[in-house]
Structure 1
Amino acid sequence: MKITEIESNWFELPVKIKIGAMPKFKITGTLLKLKTDEGIEGVAAGHFVNSDEACAIFIRRWKKLILKRDPYDIEAITQDLINYTYRILIGNPIGISLVNCALWDIIGKSLGKPVHQLIGTYQRKVKAYASMPYWMKPDETVKMTKTALDERNFKAIKIRLGQGLDKDKAVIKALTDNFSPSELEVMVDVNSGYDLKTNLKLARILESHDHFKWLEEPVFSDEIDNLAELRSLVDISIAGGENNFGIHEFQTLLQKGAYDIIQPDATRSGGISIVKKIASLAEANGKLCIPHVFGTGLVQAANLQVIGSLSNCPYFEYGFYPDFILFSKDGSYELDTDGYIKIPDDPGLSFNLDEDEISKFLK
């Protein structure tokens, strides 16, 4: 089997969001299809960023590294992309990640097996937390949380803070007044919106309640010394890594003691193959690896497959936003009464792309 065609495009949705310190931005994404001479097609889509048009172009220019190659040579192809388009030429990490995910999709489909079985299944289901897409006022936060718990069976959520400590305190109070720790676990993400001093104050507030499990991306991911210092001063777990790429960056984060929980993303950090390696690094250092997930249903699918193979991943980040963003013919994943999602067992990434729906947004 050989790869015969690369089809990469980008899409833009009629939705704007504001997260942490970032300005409000439109939701976009990259869609990749790798086609083979046996009629098997591998599909992957990227995380929402502002460089998806460039990412689609990058991938098209990698023809010499991808075309006419056997998808089963996935490790060689991935390493060639890393070595010759990233480590030397400062290339596109999302593009590399999508190629790896699409190759796994091809391999799984050709064998009639889900990817998690091909890389070694550890768990058949995982606890999901409802990841809120943006900062919300206290009453809106409570309303969406009740919806997540009552209508979807979630037992855990992630909220976005970072718009000022006074606003944060109001959201925290609303949640802790309305929900007990036994009925709701809460993860907190400030998306690098605060400095070290402010994060320390926020951590102390969170630590005064039993609801809160971790503080995510407190400062920018390259502030390794600040991350390590914050972690040394607080009891709440510090999480992050969504903005890091490859095993070498994550090795440095672990060696420097930056995080208690690392969060690579299969569609950002190098692909399924690389996240699997990163998780092993974390395991060897006694750390959890809970992949970051933010994007379309294909982003969810790729990360859910690798999570099925991880022994140090107790949670799945489930984006709690409108279903039309998923582009799935099968709709949203269903949770059981305990708040768990079953790891899908269909071949490849176990995702049924709605071609008609996504075509409306392709550029």
Structure 2
Amino acid sequence: MATPSVFDATDIDRDSAVQVESVRTVLLSAVYPPGEELTWVGGVIRSWDAALVEVTLSDGTTGLGEVGAGIMAARAVPGIVEELSRYLVGVPLAHPVRVGDHLRDHTAFWSRGGLTSGAIGALETACVDAVAKRLGVPAHALLGGTVREKIEVYASGGLGTTFEHIKDWAHQQVAAGLRTVKFRAMRDPATTIALLDFVVPSLPARTRFVLDAVQGCASTPWAIRDCVLVGEAVAAHGGRWYEEPCRAENVAGYVTVRAALPVAISGVESHGTFEQFRELITAGGVDIAQPDVTFVGGFRAFHAVADLAAAHGVDCVPHVWGSGVTLMANLHASLSHANVRLFEYCTLPNPLRDALLVSPPDLRDGMLATPTAPGLGVRLTPQLEDAFPFQPGAGHVIR
């Protein structure tokens, strides 16, 4: 993996060494009351789940990370984390952002990508959180510092089974001061085009929109000709970009769709390795890369993707869809890289996200300010664990 230079020298002149004493996985659920579940064409989300990883350093400091795919597969996480911890507990490392590479190097036989990469990223994130708290500095200080004081966010949500529901959601986001809204496609291309025709003309002037085709993880993805047909409608309506029109592994499909359309193409949020992004970017498959710290393997891997994207003239806009730990990890990563100028902000109700934050995000006029709390700016208490006990089988689904 390419090594981003930002991690080779930081402004921290105090001890950034890390040695993990113990690791535990914490599964949590924020269960929606009956009638308040999140319903969309992909299924019903009855709870927002989180697979958190807590590390305790040798000096007793604790830190948190999150496995992003835990929103769908939380019960698969504890065993993976337990196996990874064998290669981390008691091992002295010079800096917490070395954790991901250390684990990848020592578990390469079985840990390349997928949920395991998310677990590696969670362990690295937790170590960064712990060391930054020990030093009394925000996590971004350990990532080379910030390159901007605030970052533009776009509203991400747009779930629903009716056109009216999605339109109402979009208008609420604009009223809240967000200038770009992203909503999800319907099941088939024709209905999706009808959705665009219904929602987009109703948006206030100067509001931008994104269509997420959700084909990156679709069980039966659209044919390429249909991907292009929907993309033509996105372009005709002036879309800011067209997200994940093809299955995640279909690099040739991305190249074909991008070449056929005058609108920017983005992907792939679920990629778990730098190498997957390298294949997609160097093939010319996207205009916008969408890594997620909690999927791609931690801060170092995230920045490597952003570096590679910059070198190929590709923008980098992170995927952010999880608890407060995912939110803050990606925010620190984004604010510390020059090629990240826009940030996904999920506006769907998520009590677990809010409860884990030390303080509410400073979101004003569509801009999210730099965090100042030590570490990531998250906390896990026994009271919070009692309030959000894990409920298996109710989280995110895709039908």
1:17 Cα deviation from its structure 2 partner: 5.1
- Match for residue 214 of structure 2? 191
Are residues 323 and 83 of structure 1, via their aligned partners in 2, closer, same or farther at CA, if it must alter by over 3 Å? same
Are residues 165 and 249 of structure 1, via their aligned partners in 2, closer, same or farther at CA, if it must alter by over 3 Å? closer
Aligned mate of 2:64, from 43, 48, 52 = 43
Aligned mate of 2:335, from 293, 302, 308 = 308
Aligned-CA RMSD value? 2.2
The residue type paired with residue 159 of structure 1 is F
Bigger shift: residues 98-107 or 240-249: 240-249
- Match for residue 33 of structure 1? 54
- Match for residue 116 of structure 1? 140
Aligned ranges 1:90-239 → 2 under 5 Å:
90=112, 92-120=116-144, 121-132=146-157, 134-150=159-175, 152-182=176-206, 184-192=207-215, 193=218, 194-210=222-238, 212-239=239-266
Q: How far apart in 1 are the matches of 2:291 and 2:378?
A: 21
The residue type paired with residue 2 of structure 1 is Q
SS at match of 2:242: strand
Kept after mapping to 2: 8 A contact 1:156/1:186: yes
Task: Give unmatched runs, 5+ long, in structure 1.
Answer: none
Are residues 74 and 300 of structure 1, via their aligned partners in 2, closer, same or farther at CA, if it must alter by over 3 Å? same
Q: TM-score, structure 2 length as denominator?
A: 0.83
- Match for residue 14 of structure 1? 31
1:358 Cα deviation from its structure 2 partner: 4.1
Bigger shift: residues 160-169 or 68-77: 68-77
Kept after mapping to 1: 8 A contact 2:255/2:286: yes
Bigger shift: residues 60-69 or 215-224: 60-69
1:251 Cα deviation from its structure 2 partner: 1.2
Q: How far apart in 1 are the matches of 2:231 and 2:193?
A: 11
Kept after mapping to 2: 8 A contact 1:71/1:106: no
Bigger shift: residues 218-227 or 41-50: 41-50
SS at match of 1:293: coil
Bigger shift: residues 159-168 or 339-348: 159-168
The residue type paired with residue 168 of structure 2 is K
Bigger shift: residues 9-18 or 112-121: 9-18
Q: Percent identity?
A: 21
1:23 Cα deviation from its structure 2 partner: 5.1
1:77 Cα deviation from its structure 2 partner: 3.0
Q: Does 1:346 align with 2:373?
A: yes
Q: Does 1:83 align with 2:105?
A: yes
Q: How far apart in 1 are the matches of 2:357 and 2:117?
A: 28
Q: Does 1:66 align with 2:88?
A: yes
Kept after mapping to 2: 8 A contact 1:7/1:34: yes
Q: How far apart in 2 are the matches of 1:180 and 1:187?
A: 15
SS at match of 1:302: helix
Are residues 162 and 256 of structure 1, via their aligned partners in 2, closer, same or farther at CA, if it must alter by over 3 Å? farther
Count of matched residue positions in the alignment of Structure 1 and Structure 2: 358
Are residues 244 and 172 of structure 1, via their aligned partners in 2, closer, same or farther at CA, if it must alter by over 3 Å? same
The residue type paired with residue 129 of structure 1 is Y
Q: TM-score, structure 1 length as denominator?
A: 0.91
Bigger shift: residues 351-360 or 216-225: 351-360
SS at match of 2:131: helix
1:330 Cα deviation from its structure 2 partner: 4.6
Bigger shift: residues 57-66 or 123-132: 57-66
1:111 Cα deviation from its structure 2 partner: 1.9
Q: How far apart in 2 are the matches of 1:84 and 1:233?
A: 42
Kept after mapping to 1: 8 A contact 2:28/2:389: yes
Give CA-to-partner distance per residue, 1:65-84, whole Å, 9 cap, x none. Answer: 11113364435432232233
Kept after mapping to 1: 8 A contact 2:40/2:161: no
Q: How far apart in 2 are the matches of 1:85 and 1:17?
A: 37
Q: How far apart in 1 are the matches of 2:352 and 2:161?
A: 20
The residue type paired with residue 92 of structure 2 is D
1:331 Cα deviation from its structure 2 partner: 5.8
Are residues 319 and 249 of structure 1, via their aligned partners in 2, closer, same or farther at CA, if it must alter by over 3 Å? same
Kept after mapping to 2: 8 A contact 1:133/1:319: no
SS at match of 1:204: helix
1:136 Cα deviation from its structure 2 partner: 4.1
Q: How far apart in 1 are the matches of 2:45 and 2:169?
A: 22
Q: Does 1:254 align with 2:281?
A: yes
Q: How far apart in 1 are the matches of 2:29 and 2:166?
A: 27
Kept after mapping to 2: 8 A contact 1:122/1:308: yes
1:245 Cα deviation from its structure 2 partner: 1.9
SS at match of 2:50: strand
Kept after mapping to 2: 8 A contact 1:19/1:191: no
Task: Give unmatched runs, 5+ long, in structure 2.
Answer: 1-17, 391-399
- Match for residue 3 of structure 2? none
SS at match of 1:312: coil
Give CA-to-partner distance per residue, 1:230-249, whole Å, 9 cap, x none. Answer: 11111111101212122222
Q: How far apart in 2 are the matches of 1:231 and 1:166?
A: 20
